[in-house]
Structure formats: C-alpha cells, structure tokens
C-alpha cells in the first residue's frame, strides 16, 4: 500500500510560546533541505504539526532522514483511502502489520465528515474487530497501546496514521545560533558538537594541526568526524589552524608543567579571534570535569581567563562511559579511536600542573613575545567544508 504523507510532531518545541514560529520555520527549512533529493515530496507546516506529502516518492529514505533531523519529536506514516469502510480497515491493518510483531493497539477514529454513515465509536469497534481477526495476536489495549492508529474521516478522503516513530528530539539546528566547536580527533569533542546541535546550535569547527608532529591522517580524521556531524544539521566548515610553530615555541619557552596550560590558552585565544572574524558568538569544547589534568576546576579557570566568549561545555558533568555510548550511537566512535596522535598528545609534558596558578601563567606569558607566531597561525588558517557523505545522498542529488 502506498503511503500518502508523513506526519511530524514537534514535541518540546511546540511549548515555546512566542518563539514557536521561529523554531517551526527553521525545522521546515531543514526538512526541505534534507528532502531535496525527492522533488515530488512537499512540506506543509501548520501550528502544531508538519506534513511531508510524498506524492509518490519512496517513503523509506525520507523516514531515514527524519530520524536524524533535530526538532522532530516523533513522526508517523499515513495512508490516504477512499471514504469506504473496507478500504479504511485494510489501511489500519496494513499500518499495524508494518510494526514489530506482538504489540498492542488501539483505534482512535474521528469523523469530521458527518455524511459518512458510521459514527466514530462504531468505526473504532468495526476496525478493531477486523484488525483482531486478521493480525494474529495483536491484543487491544486502549490505555497504553503499543500502536495508536488514528483514523480521520474527512470530506474527500480518510487518513489513517500509524505507529509513532521516534525522532531525535531537541531543537532544529540553526534555531539557537552558531558556535565554534574546538574539534580534536578524540572521542569527546564530536559528542559535544552533537549535543550542542541537539539544542539547535549550528556548528563550525576549529582544529589545531601540528605537522609534521601530526600527519595528514590526523587531519582526515577530523574531516571525517565533521562529516559525521553534518548529517544532524547542515554542512560543517572546519577551520584548520597551523599550530606547529606556536606550539614548539610554547614547549621550548614555558617552564615545565605550565606548557600545556599556556598552549590551551593560545588555542582559546585563536578560537575567539576566528569566531569573531566569522560572526560566531560562542565557543564549544569537549571538556568533562576531572577527566584529565587540563580539566580540573583550577585549570579551566586559568584557561578560560583569556576569553569573554561564552564557552559551551556540553559534556562537563558527564561520565566517560556515557560519552562513549553517545559516540557509538552517532557513529563517531570508530573514527575517534583510529590511532593517530593529535597535537596535544605529542607535546603534553609528563607531569602537567593540575592546579596551574594564574600569577605564574601571567609571569611566564609576560616574558615571551608570541605575537608573530600567533598572527601567522591565524593567517595560515585553511577552511575545509565537510558535507554529509556522498553515498548517503540519492543519485544526482546535487543536480536537483
């Protein structure tokens, strides 16, 4: 049976009062963007719901896209039938059979077309009986049904809507501004990016690259991570900063124990400058309290001192095992564990201070002039764009 449309529910977003329109418009924009490869499918936005009218397009790839689009709380496939009892019964049965076996169901009928001769109550019973007879072992459960099949009998046709499929929730990417995500090759920062995107934040990434201490494969790893993130929103720009010269100087000039702190401060200063240049209003990191030496309260305080920018730290209170779980779910884990050194592991001193003192950092930074290396790092920054993987797109998607 051919599906007619996909019904999209907003969830939390619908509660956002006056801002609701801002969020739903952004979601409409993102949904349209993701279904571009299917030109006959059209999006209709109403106050509480959104519809993707399929007009004959295959529903499967569109269902897959909906599973990733932030701001979609849940969605359901719907069948359009004639206003005819048998056709309606068959549609309801079909929607139930498309579900995992053994679940319970309920039929909720609404009849806005009063010329249809059977009232809603009676239709509930007739459809329920038909489904029971023909579906072997799907018991009715009107209180907590596994599948709530909605039947809407309208003037011209009847719409039968099936099982709720879970969307990723959150807010539509782009509805909460943009952040510059400090993206290393590790496990944490891509997860931080994903969580920021889930709150509606669009991301650009910044990566500090230190050739020849870190190689092209390390850079590729970061591009692949950004590409994985792009499927939750739009394409992701990566600012790749040539960091070697500055990092070597920090390593040579700053006393043992403080080089990592100073290096992090440099990273944050450069990130702020790049964000400013591109009109981005916040930074984001994958820091998690207590995880490593640079992530103690004292260390974060000392590193954070160099910027007035809001620094989003979506993982700050999370356990490593929970972070790893998310990285597996979003398919970044296997990329993150590829064994290439990043610039921090190459230069990390054997015993970095876990409680770096601000006066000492000021003293050390004050005696050495890093400005030339600092400016060259910014000037040499290269921008690479990571788009959702080509093979995930329909053939000729770019031409449509």
Near ligand ATP by CB under 6 A, which window of 13-21, 37-45, 144-152, 186-194? 186-194
Reference 77, options 159, 7, 169, 158; nearest CA is 7
Span interacting with ligand ATP, options 80-88, 104-112, 245-253, 291-299, rule CB under 6 A? 291-299
Nearer residue to ligand ATP within complex by CB, 145 or 186: 186
Place of tokens 């356990």: 319
Q: Which does 23 bind (CB under 5 to 8 A by kind): ligand ATP, Mg ion, none?
A: none
Cβ(53)–Cβ(42) below 8 Å = yes
Among 168, 170, 174, 186, binds ligand ATP (CB under 6 A): 186
**Does residue 311 bind ligand ATP (CB under 6 A)?**
no
**Is the bond preceding residue 304 a cis peptide, omega within 30 degrees?**
no
Q: Does 342 contact ligand ATP by CB under 6 A?
A: yes
Closest residue by beta carbon to Mg ion:
186
- 382 alpha carbon, distance to own chain's centre: 25
Q: How far is CA 46 from the centre of its chain?
A: 24
d(CA 292, CA 289): 8
Tell me the CA distances in angstroms from 360 to 246, 256, 261, 290, 303, one per residue in order.
Answer: 20, 12, 11, 22, 13
Binding to ligand ATP (CB under 6 A): which residues in 40-79?
A: none
**Residue 131 to residues 95, 136, 149: CA-CA distances in angstroms?**
10, 9, 11
Torsion, Cα 333 337 341 343, to 10 degrees, reads 20
Closer residue to ligand ATP, CB minimum distance, 81 or 244? 244
Q: Least Å distance between CB 280 and ligand ATP?
A: 15
176 binds, among Mg ion, ligand ATP, none (CB under 5 to 8 A by kind): none
344 is a contact residue toward ligand ATP (CB under 6 A): yes
State the CB neighbour count (10 A cutoff) for residue 205: 26
What is the CA 263 to chain-centroid distance, rounded?
30
Minimum CB separation of residue 14 from ligand ATP in Å reads 33
Tell the smallest beta-carbon distance from residue 183 to ligand ATP (Å).
5
300 contact choice in Mg ion, ligand ATP, none (CB below 5 to 8 Å, kind-dependent): none
CB of 186 to Mg ion, least distance (A): 3
Q: How far is the CB of 184 from Mg ion (least distance, A)?
A: 4
Q: How far apart are CA 358 and CA 36, in angstroms?
A: 52
| Residues 188 and 315 sit within 8 Å (Cβ to Cβ) | yes
Residues numbered 16 to 35 that lie near ligand ATP (CB under 6 A) are none
Q: Residue 250, interface with ligand ATP (CB under 6 A)?
A: no
Q: Are strands 311-312 and 202-209 parallel, antiparallel or unpaired?
A: unpaired
Minimum distance, C-beta of residue 257 to Mg ion, in the bound complex (Å): 19
* Cβ distance to Mg ion smaller for residue 298 or 341: 341
Helices (H) and strands (E) in the chain, counts: 14, 14
Site for ligand ATP in 206-245 (CB under 6 A): 206-208
Q: Does 304 bind Mg ion (CB under 5 A)?
A: no
Paired tokens of 198:
């889930």
Closest by CA position to 95, among listed 78, 108, 80, 83: 78
Chosen residue from 292, 316, 324, 378 binding ligand ATP by CB under 6 A: 292
Q: Does 93 bind ligand ATP (CB under 6 A)?
A: no
Told to check if 184 binds Mg ion by CB under 5 A, we report yes
Neighbours of 20 (CB within 10 A): 15
CA 27, distance to chain mean position in Å, is 13
Candidates 145, 167, 168, 186; binder of Mg ion (CB under 5 A) is: 186
Quick one: which of 26, 81, 175, 184 contacts ligand ATP (CB under 6 A)? 184
295 scored as a contact of Mg ion (CB under 5 A): no
Q: Is 286 in the site for ligand ATP (CB under 6 A)?
A: yes
Binding site for Mg ion (CB under 5 A): 184, 186
Binding site for ligand ATP (CB under 6 A): 182-184, 186-189, 206-208, 285-287, 291-292, 294-295, 342-344
């Amino acid at each position: 049976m051919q599906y007619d449309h996909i019904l999209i529910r907003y969830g939390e977003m619908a509660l956002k009062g006056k801002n609701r329109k801002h969020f739903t418009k952004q979601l409409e924009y993102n949904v349209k963007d993701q279904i571009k490869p299917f030109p006959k499918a059209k999006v209709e936005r109403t106050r509480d719901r959104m519809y993707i009218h399929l007009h004959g397009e295959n529903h499967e790839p569109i269902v897959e896209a909906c599973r990733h689009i932030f701001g979609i709380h849940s969605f359901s496939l719907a069948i359009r039938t004639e206003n005819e009892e048998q056709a309606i019964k068959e549609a309801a049965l079909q929607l139930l059979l498309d579900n995992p076996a053994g679940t319970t169901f309920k039929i909720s009928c609404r009849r806005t077309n009063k010329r249809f001769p059977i009232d809603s109550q009676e239709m509930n019973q007739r459809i329920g009986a038909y489904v029971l007879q023909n579906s072997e072992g799907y018991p009715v459960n009107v209180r907590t049904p596994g599948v709530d099949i909605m039947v809407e009998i309208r003037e011209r046709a009847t719409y039968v809507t099936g099982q709720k499929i879970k969307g990723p929730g959150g807010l539509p990417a782009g509805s909460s501004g943009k952040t510059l995500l400090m993206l290393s090759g590790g496990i944490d920062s891509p997860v931080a990016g994903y969580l920021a995107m889930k709150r509606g934040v669009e991301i650009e990434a910044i990566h500090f690259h230190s050739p020849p201490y870190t190689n092209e494969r390390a850079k590729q790893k970061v591009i692949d991570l950004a590409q994985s993130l792009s499927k939750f929103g739009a394409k992701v720009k990566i600012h790749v900063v040539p960091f070697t010269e500055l990092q070597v100087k920090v390593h040579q000039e700053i006393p043992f124990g403080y080089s990592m702190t100073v290096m992090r401060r440099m990273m944050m200063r450069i990130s702020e400058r790049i964000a400013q240049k591109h009109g981005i209003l916040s930074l984001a990191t994958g820091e998690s309290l207590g995880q490593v030496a640079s992530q103690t309260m004292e260390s974060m305080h000392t590193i954070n001192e160099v910027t007035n920018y809001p620094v989003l730290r979506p993982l700050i209170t999370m356990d490593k095992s929970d972070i790893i779980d998310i990285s597996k779910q979003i398919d970044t884990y296997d990329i993150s564990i590829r064994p290439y050194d990043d610039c921090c592991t190459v230069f990390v001193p054997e015993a970095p201070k876990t409680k770096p003192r601000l006066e000492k950092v000021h003293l050390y930074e004050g005696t050495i002039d890093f400005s030339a290396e600092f400016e060259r790092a910014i000037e040499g920054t290269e921008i690479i764009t990571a788009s959702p993987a080509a093979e995930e797109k329909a053939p000729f998607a770019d031409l449509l």
